[in-house]
A and B are shown apart, each in its own frame.
Chain A
Amino acid sequence: MASSVLDPCITDELPDFSSEAYKLAYSRINAIVIEGEQEAHDNYISLGGLIPGQVEELAQLARMEMKHMKGFQACGKNLGVVPDMQFAKIFFAPLHDNFKQALSENKVVTCLVIQALMIEAFAIAAYHIYIPVADPFARKITEGVVKDEYTHLNYGQEWLKANFEASRDEIMQANRHNLPIIRQMLEQVADDAAELHMEKESLIEDFLIAYQEALMEIGFGPRDLARMSAAALVS
């Protein structure tokens, strides 16, 4: 056995939640989460205009996002951190602009890829990685949220699956345009996330696992998945 190079040496230690460095990083990460939930709310309401038959279901998803947002605002307050909302707005701007553009062109597929697949997969990955290193208050809130986010991912997944053949090309195009942006967003918060003991490497991998799983459910084959997700790895 090659056990000489296989000796476990790292254990997950909780960060010092009261340190200034932690709070500073948290002011940005917490803001991103709050802004993300707010935008998700707005996006699901907007999508109701493109998918008229499902206005009520989308409104239901939107309501959940508002609840999440309030939960995360409480997490910031609990640590005595003021979220840097200006940073968060700039952080989301490129992706948000692409969503608005697609919305104005009635591109429901692109809108769903951005919001219901990419952002939800991003959230699921980040929340899963955050939970083991979160403070007890935030941990409880986040555990509740992550279950809901699977429902949201599932919504987009089911819609795109039902319309797979007609959506296929647009999904691939939306993937090409937006996945590099997701990657850049991850890069931008990597240092702050590291301060919270969340590693960039596992954030990307977990995001791709959730995202690929959704794409597979929608109808893409394994080879498509690897090619499509490479856009997030190499950019």
Chain B
Amino acid sequence: MFGLIGHSSSFLDARLKARDLGFDDLADGELDIWCSAPPQLLENFEVTSNTGKTIQGTYIDSCFVPEMLGRFKTATRKVQNAMELAQKRGINITALGGFTSIIFENFNLAKFQQIRSTLLQWERFTTGNTHTAWVICRQVEQNAPALGINLAKARVAVVGATGDIGSAVCRWLTRRSGVGELLLVARQQQRLNDLRKELGGGRVLSLEEALPEADVVVWVASLPQTLQIDSASLRNPCLMIDGGYPKNLDSKIASPNINILKGGIVEFARDIGWQVMEIAEMANPRRQLFACFAEAMLLEFEDWHTNFSWGRNNITLEAMEQIGAASIRHGFSALGLDAISPAPAAIAA
């Protein structure tokens, strides 16, 4: 059995979802009440691979909402308690979705292995970042040419380049995709310099410097609330892969010339009998899901019961290739642009 730990994208969404599920008391409750709510096992479902193998899955809502980010202890508890629940239910491999893995990493929760009477077994959990990184790279490789962008000559900016996913994406785009030039954007200068050294290339730039130069922008950082992007200064065409969390890039940029693709999202070959992805506002919630969740499915399909993605900056190209091959084998494909914007004449016709 595999597990997915997720959460609502906002407190408002969480209340609406509670109402949908018939939990009126929770739907009416204030944030303080949600801060005391234990994780909930929301649904069990089956997934059948292209190979014919069927596996069982469980979705656990941690009852975390992003409004709790300022409350260190609360956020920590939500993640730990959801992980404990997954382990106690005997789930082999569970993906930490949304903010869950970010909280785990940034609060260094690996220090706290004992949760009440449960010793958390890290091999039962994965951040899913290897698959996410692979999917994002594939999205770049498949969609840039469709927009007329020649990757061999293109400048690709990676925003959040030094993070776990960002650094893996940089490695792949350099060594496998062979992009023209990488523009490295992140907050920590020392980490940027180290990454540049490791890659043997790439230019370190500020976000403001990088954006007007980039043919492709891969966002793997959460966007600051105050971020303003001047669409007119961007290249045309420009492919933007919104791989951060939450995926709100489309609220920052409104321009028909900019193609924004939700990054790190996969589409499965057939419908999955679940309701959870409706909560995540997927365009096709029966088939689309976060690649990190799909990684837990892949590990279960393949019987790789191990914390495949764990810690920071451990993602190797070999691991990406391995998970990528499994992804294709079992019926996942990387989400693409719906349709390349047709020329005005075509619309008129």
Contacts and interface: CB of A to CB of B under 8 A. Distances in A.
A93 interface: no
A199 interface: yes
Interface stretch (A3-11, A38-46, A103-111): A3-11
Contact of B106 (A3, A199, A212, A216): A3
A216 B73 CA distance: 26
A230 B23 contact: yes
Interface string B58-75: 000000000001101111
Contact of A205 (B41, B75, B81): B81
Nearest to B109: A8
Contacts of B81: 205, 209
Nearest to A183: B36
Contacts of B284: none
Contacts of B40: 222, 225-226
Q: What interface size band does chain B fall in?
A: 35 or more
A77 interface: no
Interface in A194-208: 199-202, 204-206, 208
B151 interface: no
A201 B35 contact: yes
Residues of B contacting A: mostly: mixed
Contacts of B221: 1-2
A199 B72 CA distance: 13
B227 interface: no
A227 B116 contact: no
A233 interface: yes
A124 B84 CA distance: 16
Considering residues B43, B69, B106, B163, which has the most beta carbons from chain A within 10 angstroms of its beta carbon? B106
Nearest to B40: A226
Interface string A158-173: 0000000000000000
Nearest to A124: B116
A181 interface: no
Given A1-B222, A128-B116, A225-B40, A8 B35 contact: no
B10 interface: no
Given A6-B75, A8-B106, A234-B25, 11 more contacts: A1-B160, A7-B106, A8-B72, A8-B108, A124-B116, A201-B74, A223-B22, A226-B26, A230-B23, A233-B25, A234-B28
Interface of B: 21-23, 25-26, 28-29, 32-33, 35-43, 69-70, 72-75, 77, 81, 84-85, 88, 99, 102-103, 106-108, 116-117, 160, 163, 221-222, 224
Interface of A: 1-10, 124, 128, 146, 150, 199-202, 204-206, 208-209, 212-213, 216, 222-223, 225-227, 229-231, 233-234
18 contacts: A1-B222, A2-B69, A5-B69, A6-B69, A8-B72, A8-B107, A202-B77, A205-B36, A205-B81, A208-B37, A213-B88, A222-B42, A223-B22, A225-B40, A225-B41, A227-B23, A230-B26, A233-B33
